[in-house]
Structure 1
């Protein structure tokens, strides 16, 4: 990621953070709409899960300017997700739902540059996570 892409991701996330619960709900609604089979991996009450998602995103987004600082956290997260039943093919679906939710949350501020920055960030991290969890990186979409 370029420094400009990192800045775009961080700036755009700071605009989503104030509506974090709503943004997380939009994400999970979209995820369960496009991949209903994954809903069984989540609790019936999603309140805590939405908070965990946004807290994790905040850590990752804030750490993008020093990627090596967040790699241990993302490695551990990837390995935990295997235990929850996550598979490599879930990563592109989750990424698409995340980008969709960010686009909805940011509205007119979701520009092609912001979209490209988030796509790069997600591709970089999901590739690392699949490599850590399964031994093989998943090609970025």
Structure 2
């Protein structure tokens, strides 16, 4: 990822986490509307799950320029997803829900450059997670 792409991901995420509506709840609502079968994978309160999702995305987003520092965490997250029986195909569905969440909440701040940057960032994260998911 270029420095500009990383800055774009960081700036758009900074806008997301200060929205009045909880972006984590919005994301999971979107995810389950796309694939309701994924809801069965979650055994904890969705408010808690949404909080964890926001924390994880925030953590990775602000370390994109030092991704090697979070690489093992991403692999470990993939291992946990494997234990939870998360199908590898769900990562694509999550991407669709994440992009929709960003686009629908950021309005004028969202554009093709932002979408491309987010897809690259998500690709880095999921590559590491899928590596862990296969272990």
Q: Same fold (TM over 0.5)?
A: yes
User: Are residue 65 (structure 1) and residue 54 (structure 2) matched?
Assistant: no
Partner of 1:139: none
CA distance in 2, matches of 1:65, 1:13: 15
Partner of 2:133: 133
Partner of 1:37: 37
Q: For 1:51-109, what per-residue CA distance to the aligned partner results, in whole angstroms no more than 9, with x for missing partners? A: 10001111000110101011011111111111112111110001110111011121111
Query: For structure 1, which runs of at least 5 residues remain unmatched after alignment?
Result: 136-141
Q: Which moved more, 1:102-111 or 1:123-132?
A: 123-132
Q: Normalising by structure 1, what TM-score?
A: 0.90
- Pair 1:95–1:103, CA change in 2 (3 A): same
Give yes or no for contact 2:63–2:69 (8 Å, CA) kept in 1: yes
User: Are residue 96 (structure 1) and residue 96 (structure 2) matched?
Assistant: yes
CA distance in 2, matches of 1:54, 1:84: 19
Q: CA RMSD in A?
A: 1.5
Which aligned pairs between 1:1-141 and structure 2 lie closer than 5 A?
1-19=1-19, 22-43=22-43, 45-134=45-134
- Pair 1:131–1:105, CA change in 2 (3 A): same
Partner of 1:138: none
Q: Normalising by structure 2, what TM-score?
A: 0.93
> What's the offset of the Cα at 1:20?
7.6
Count of aligned pairs between the two proteins: 135
> What's the offset of the Cα at 1:19?
2.5
- Pair 1:20–1:117, CA change in 2 (3 A): farther
